[in-house]
A = this chain, B = another copy of it.
Amino acid sequence: MHVVIIGGVAGGMSAATRLRRLSEEIEITVLEKGPYVSFANCGLPYYVSGEISERSALILQSPEQLKKRFNIDVHTETEALEIDRQAKNVRINAKGKEAVINYDRLILSPGAQPVVPEIEGLAQATNVHTLRNVPDVDKIVEAVKQEQPKQAVVIGAGFIGLEMAENLKKLGIDVTIVEAAPQILPPLDEEMAAFVEKELKRNEITVYTGAAATAFKDAGKTIELSTGEIIKSDFTILSIGVKPSSELAQNAGLEIGLRGGILVDESYRTNDPDIYAVGDAIVVKQQITGEDALISLASPANRQGRQVADVIMGGARKNQGSIGTAIVRVFELTAASTGLSERQLRNDKLDYKVVHTTSKSHAGYFPGSHPIVMKLLFHPVSGKIFGAQAVGADGVDKRIDIIATAIKAGLTVTDLPELEFTYAPPFGSAKDPVNMIGYAAANILEGFSESIQYYELNAAIENGALLLDVRNPDELKNNGALPQAKNIPLDELRARLDEIPNQQEIIVSCQSGQRSYLAERILKNNGFTVKNLDGAFQLYSMIYPQEVIK
């Protein structure tokens, strides 16, 4: 049997090596359009700044190594031009020479490619780069060296955009980020992304949100934005997203679904039983909703590649879908998410509850701990976990990985406090942030706490609610406060209950939400009607800084 694989990075190469581990008999050929297979595409931005200092570190395996170790025939700079499904062959352009290669089974792992929109003047711009592979990064590094840009613009504030912004800034270049959406980092919700935007600005990066590039002038040196601003750029990165590289599949008559993704069944079979597809190019199921999705992440691509090899060799594997776990380091801050965001839940019209907590990355009494702000989304009745997001300087990856595990395992928020984690002062707390947010969510689920979100506060006050801030007066002075809030410090609350109107709804707030929950309980147990401002002043002031007085 001859298995031909088109695309030699994550999914394709995982399929190839697993196939060889399953059989010494079959012939395995990998066709890769670019000059390298199995390269570290997630590492490319860090090579720009030199944080990854050796170019060779980006290239994980060579065709020679793959031949020696796995007896796999790898052809780089070899583009698949056309699939003849009747004849079961692929017409290729191998370093300029056309040829035809026969297959018994074909695996498509073409990946995704940067979206390049039609914008006035973009085709004439000479300083605009996209980043997807080693030749791209070579061009970027060479351009930075030759042109010594002073001012760079990154269009698109997704993961790659933010990584490029950080790495260009580390080279001493002034960086401006332009994002068409109302916020940066669209996989996160706005209040969580706001922490990242603050970190970008702390590092003197200019950020425009709700601003699309509408025209490139002066060969790209001038960029006009939809907001009317005109910005200068010596060097532009275009990173507004990716789309499946599915032209070959489409031309071969294979079924195409959501936004150009290749349609496959649970066993990665296309509508041609001898042709399989994996990786960024395929339509997968969002595992939580069961809906079609395109998820461009290395981890699912690798898993799919390995599974399709098993399927081809007669094994029973099923794609269980993806939940979309992702992370980005932005200077001193880390932001990560897993599962569905609040925006997605709202779009999908799913019932949900949300809770935010702020906890230390490890025991507060041990040096070096940092706050982690977490958000958990869950079903209001069953407690099923829909998603989570976190930002912080340390320990963010661990907490999101744990919740990703909990989601995959079908746990509910009431299971989170039951989880038993490693605890010694350098690593965690007796009640880990994951336990804590589980408790907080369970309190809502079980009716011990009722919360409102930052975006609901103003309407509640307009409807007659009283905002009660239970921080200490010096905190109000130092951190700022909302003018409409009445202040009674938590530790004085029991003694000053007579100052609180009992015919009015009370909304309690503090700095991050822990003391306000205690206040909520005191007031509830004294017969008041009370809700907790989830995330408290910290979150509200992040989104509405103009309403804060100091």
Contacts and interface: CB of A to CB of B under 8 A. Distances in A.
A282 interface: no
Given A51-B367, A327-B424, A409-B411, A431 B302 contact: yes
A35 interface: no
Contacts of A406: 405, 409
Interface in A322-356: 322-329, 334, 336, 338
Interface stretch (A21-29, A82-90, A503-511, A534-542): A21-29
A464 B535 CA distance: 67
B415 A409 contact: yes
Contacts of A60: 365
Contact of A69 (B400, B417, B430, B518): B518
A401 B421 contact: yes
Interface in A383-423: 396-398, 400-402, 404-406, 408-411, 415, 417-423
B303 A417 contact: yes
Number of copies of this kind of chain in the complex: 2
B431 A324 contact: no
A248 interface: no
Contact of A420 (B404, B426, B432): B404
Contacts of A409: 405-406, 409-411, 415
A455 interface: no
Given A42-B363, A52-B367, A415 B420 contact: no
Given A365-B52, A491-B69, A427 B518 contact: no
A320 interface: yes
Given A40-B363, A365-B60, A23 B525 contact: yes
Nearest to A422: B327
Contacts of A163: 424
Given A42-B430, A526-B24, A421 B408 contact: no
A58 interface: yes
Nearest to A58: B365
Contact of A419 (B363, B365, B404): B404
A207 to B, nearest CB: 20
A100 interface: no
A401 B422 contact: yes
Given A297-B423, A320-B418, 5 more contacts: A40-B363, A42-B425, A299-B423, A302-B431, A338-B422
19 contacts: A21-B448, A24-B525, A40-B363, A40-B425, A43-B363, A58-B365, A69-B490, A298-B423, A299-B421, A322-B420, A396-B422, A397-B428, A400-B422, A401-B422, A401-B428, A402-B402, A404-B420, A408-B420, A409-B410
Interface of A: 10, 20-25, 40, 42-43, 46, 51-53, 57-58, 60, 68-69, 71, 159, 163, 297-303, 306, 320, 322-329, 334, 336, 338, 363, 365-367, 396-398, 400-402, 404-406, 408-411, 415, 417-428, 430-432, 435, 439, 448, 490-491, 494, 518, 521-522, 525-526
